[in-house]
Structure 1
Amino acid sequence: MTKADQILTMVREVCALGRVEFERPHTAEGDPDAGRALVEGLQAIEPGGGPSDISLSLGLLAPRAPYFDQLVLDAVATGIPQVVNLGAGYDDRAVRFRHSGVRFFDLDLPDIVADKARRLEAMDTETAHVTLAAVDFGTDDVAEVLARAGHDAQRPTLFIAEHLVLFLEPGDVERLLAGVSGRAARGSTLALTAEVHPAGLDSGLVVSAVDDVMFAGASPLHTIQPREAWLALFERNGWRIEDADEVTAVDHFELPVAGQSVPIQTQFLTATA
């Protein structure tokens, strides 16, 4: 496993362990204890082998987790029959938001999916409505993966990608948006977290600076763009962001790029098909 892979694994584990530190909503049929049960025994390990401090993630998760929780609750309440969680990791929404008539699809790398399947099987909770599907977003066609998993492209879907596209190459992000657009019936929604730098900077230079300063060249992060580039990416792949001038965001980090201090935001983008 490369150092970049180790960092990505740690991020999944940190997010999973951090989310259960908050009081989370659930549906009437959902399992409110699913989160803690799903991560039982999980440890977030730094690439150097020591334990990671999950408290560092709580400031980001505090606004992010409720945003996506509410999207799922709203989808369930309005009768959306399918929820696709892209890069789901150890997220428990498929069980915590269980609801009659709603199918959940959790997609992630094969090793994560295998471990999550084992953990779900060990839990005393109903999971017949949950489909786990292995995917490599850098090489696989997500539309084909969803089709094989039983996703119905003729019915509306909520697609969520919380803290995923930052770790994909720009071309892979475009393929992902185009792929889910091809599975999106009228009434579908796509929501994701996008890492955003101020306009006027070279995105490649920003990504390189983040890698050098924060990860010593391990290169786990790949896509940080100005907001205008994100909006254009959605538009050309069949997604429309309503109220595009309204920004929902949390400050992620700040670092020097080309002699100036550059703030990076995590913005929450939600679009309709």
Structure 2
Amino acid sequence: MTRENPLLTMIREVCALGRAELERPSTAEGDPDAGRALVQGLRAIGPDGEPSDISLSLALLAPRAAYFDQLVLHAIAAGVTQVVNLGAGYDDRALRLRHSGVRFFDLDLPGIVADKARRLQATGTDTGHLTLVAVDLHTDDVAEVLARAGHDAHWPTLFLAEHLALFLQPGDVASLLAGLFDRAAAGSTLAMTAEVHPADLDSDLVVSTVDDVMFGGAGPLHTIQSRDAWLALFAKTGWRVDNADDADEVAAVDHFHVTVADRPIQIQTQFLTATA
């Protein structure tokens, strides 16, 4: 089983703590305070041994969290009965957005899933509608994992991959998209954040430069591509990105600036929503 990069653990916890500070929607059956209860005791320790400043992440987290929350609410309103949250970490959507007849599947590494289960049990939260699923997306077939977990491939699903692909190797991202397509009934939707660099740059050079500049060569970031490369990957694995050809319809936030080959560039986090 793949061992998690400690920097990724820190990023995961920064995101969890940051999201808990945001005002986020809940359903009539949901628990609006679940997020804060779920992250009690997390510290997001940085490389210097000190807790990270979560306030620095809020500008990135706020639009991203709102975008994916609204997708879940829209899916529920449309009658979708399955929501698969990939790399869910300590995300509380299954608790805030609980709705009769809707099953949530939260997937993550075994250690994270075990800790989340412990935290949920400690808070006495109703999890009858939630299935926690241990998976290693580097070695496991996500289609097989979902099938064993009770996911029904005959009914539409909303698949969420928020802030996940960046931390997977490109080949693992491709396998993930293909595996999800295998489980996607007609009417299913896949929503993913994709890190995007300018089209005329080499992706390997961008990734290695970002790693060196931001993490001193020890970083957990692996997949940053041009938008065209992302669209081609979605198409190759059977997914059709909504508004793929309309630049004015791109939903995105600026993630970070970096200089690659003596050229200042902006890496964007684009929100890609696709149908099978």
Q: Where on the TM-score scale, by shorter chain, does this alignment land: which range?
A: over 0.9
Distance 1:145 1:198 in 2: 35
Distance 1:66 1:83 in 2: 16
Instruction: Give, in angstroms, the shift of residue 4 of structure 1.
Output: 6.8
Distance 1:153 1:211 in 2: 38
**What's the CA shift string for 1:243-264, capped at 9, x where partnerless?**
1122110000111101100110
Q: How does 1:1-273 map to 2 (within 5 A)?
A: 5-244=5-244, 245=246, 246-273=249-276
Indicate the SS of the match to 1:101. Answer: coil
Distance 2:219 2:171 in 1: 16
Letter in 2 for 1:26: S
**What's the CA shift string for 1:75-114, capped at 9, x where partnerless?**
1111100000000000000111110000000000011000
Distance 1:17 1:90 in 2: 9
Q: Is the Cα contact below 8 Å between 2:108 and 2:135 reproduced in 1?
A: yes
Letter in 2 for 1:216: G
Letter in 2 for 1:111: G
Q: Is the Cα contact below 8 Å between 2:7 and 2:219 reproduced in 1?
A: no
Letter in 2 for 1:207: V
Q: TM-score, normalised by structure 2?
A: 0.97
Distance 1:199 1:19 in 2: 31
Instruction: Give, in angstroms, the shift of residue 49 of structure 1.
Output: 1.6
Distance 1:3 1:147 in 2: 24
Indicate the SS of the match to 1:137. Answer: coil
Distance 2:164 2:75 in 1: 21
* Identity of matched residues, %: 75
Q: 1:3 to 1:219 in 2, by over 3 A?
A: farther
Q: 1:214 to 1:163 in 2, by over 3 A?
A: same
Which aligned runs of 4 or more in structure 1 are off by greater than 3 angstroms? none
Distance 1:209 1:144 in 2: 35
Indicate the SS of the match to 2:240. Answer: coil
**What's the CA shift string for 1:181-226, capped at 9, x where partnerless?**
0000000000010000000100000001001100001031000000
Q: 1:4 to 1:31 in 2, by over 3 A?
A: closer
Distance 1:260 1:143 in 2: 41
Instruction: Give, in angstroms, the shift of residue 3 of structure 1.
Output: 10
Indicate the SS of the match to 1:218. Answer: coil
Q: TM-score, normalised by structure 1?
A: 0.98
Q: Is the Cα contact below 8 Å between 1:4 and 1:219 reproduced in 2?
A: no
Distance 1:82 1:57 in 2: 29
Q: Which runs of 5+ in 2 are unaligned?
A: none
Distance 1:31 1:262 in 2: 41
Q: Is the Cα contact below 8 Å between 2:87 and 2:107 reproduced in 1?
A: yes
Q: Which runs of 5+ in 1 are unaligned?
A: none
Q: Is the Cα contact below 8 Å between 1:4 and 1:218 reproduced in 2?
A: no
Q: Is the Cα contact below 8 Å between 2:107 and 2:135 reproduced in 1?
A: yes
Q: Is the Cα contact below 8 Å between 1:143 and 1:179 reproduced in 2?
A: yes
Letter in 1 for 2:257: E
**What's the CA shift string for 1:131-157, capped at 9, x where partnerless?**
001011111100111011000010100
Instruction: Tell me the C-alpha RMSD between the 2 structures.
Output: 1.2
Distance 1:32 1:242 in 2: 30
Letter in 1 for 2:73: L
Letter in 1 for 2:262: G
Distance 1:4 1:42 in 2: 16
Instruction: Give, in angstroms, the shift of residue 125 of structure 1.
Output: 2.4
